[in-house]
Structure 1
Amino acid sequence: MFPLERLPLAERYAELLATEGVVRGLIGPREAPRLWDRHLLNSAVLAEVLPTDSTVADLGTGAGLPGMVLAIARPDLRLTLVEPLLRRTTFLEEVVAELGLDNVEVVRGRAEELHGKRTFDVVTSRAVAPLDRLLGWSMPLVAPKGALVAMKGSSVAEEIETARPVLATYKCAEPEVFVLGEGVVERPTCALRVAWADPSSIGWPLTRGSQRKGRNRRRPRAH
């Protein structure tokens, strides 16, 4: 899961989460004893479905989950950790500096602020929002041949059905659901992958008609 030579980095990151992460309110005190099972290993198995040498944006990364874990487990990936809160980005930058992770960029801001400016091979997130809202934040950042790859819970099937109109508006392909880490970790990870139906004709920017409809709906912002 972690290459042997990268394991000390993962161990140090876990220590920082359990100490500075708790002190700064990034991780709950009750989570500290179960960081490996519920957070690090749970995030690390996501690396199984990420293409080699890809660029990855982790939206609402918080304390760096899953983005920082993926950067440690897969040095071939180039991670951009997107987070609006200063206390979190400060912690992330300190972790990057201490661990010497030259494949990580920390960006303070919201996903929408990168729309039209950046695209990535993979856009990931963990417990950020239901799929219908997540698509609006993520798909504008997905490269033509890239995909949204989000960590999801047991309600993923219901989320897909609720998001059908948004999936159609953005011209997305049929979502794929993967269960990762079975027989390896105590809590397998459910991952959802959404790509463009036709990379040569993506559904963003939206047409004017779709934009007007979107403005009539209240759109929460990514956290």
Structure 2
Amino acid sequence: MIEREGVKKGSVQNGPNICSKKLSICFSVVLILSSLVSSVSSHSFMLWVKGQDGVGSTSFGVELEKRGALVQNSGIIIDREISSGRVGKCGRRFGGDGLKPELIDVKKELELAEANGVPTAFPDGSVSMSFFVFNNDGAGPYTCDSSSDEDNLDFKPMTIKRQIEGTRGFNVFANQFVYPLVPVFNNDLKELTELSTRLLLITIDRNTTCGAGTTKDICIVRCRNPVGFGSCAAVRFNP
């Protein structure tokens, strides 16, 4: 069994009432806390990936088998966190409510994906992704890139054929989708058969040679919105 390495939660310690000492300090703390709350109150993640062979998979770090842990699977991929070395290029999982926060270990997640089935892209490189968008900050537009290996993770831009609605990551109607939130596709993968999740259709460049995994024909795909919510996943492509 492959274990996941979690991120340790910080502890909150009791301290003096700084508001009674300096109003300016209190106001600054309120601003900081408000910023932190807004940064984690929005959620979205890649719920399901489906290719031409009918094989589907979740994205890296997603554990759908745990009850009540849907929103908590939200992925966070922010460039400044990657540049600082805090996280890898596939970011981290938000966690909460019994699902611990987690740094995404690409090699470990790829091994899990291969054990459970990796979807294969169509000959033109297209693959569909069903995104769970929890609220208005988890909306589109999304950008996607892919890496041909799991070591260097040299991500290259991908083409978006069908975009998720939104402006700068916001969509005021994003929390009004029909429940239950399950990935549903029709035969031609162009439309959802019901408003359950949002469909993102992307294309790997046909000149890409995927070389990740034990079969050496897998690419690591990464998709995220302007706010930094998104996920990585494994896709097999051998044109």
- The TM-score, its normalising length taken from structure 2, stands at 0.27
Greater relative contact order, per chain length (Cα 8 Å cut-off, separation 6+): 2
Structure number, greater radius of gyration: 2
- The TM-score, its normalising length taken from structure 1, stands at 0.28
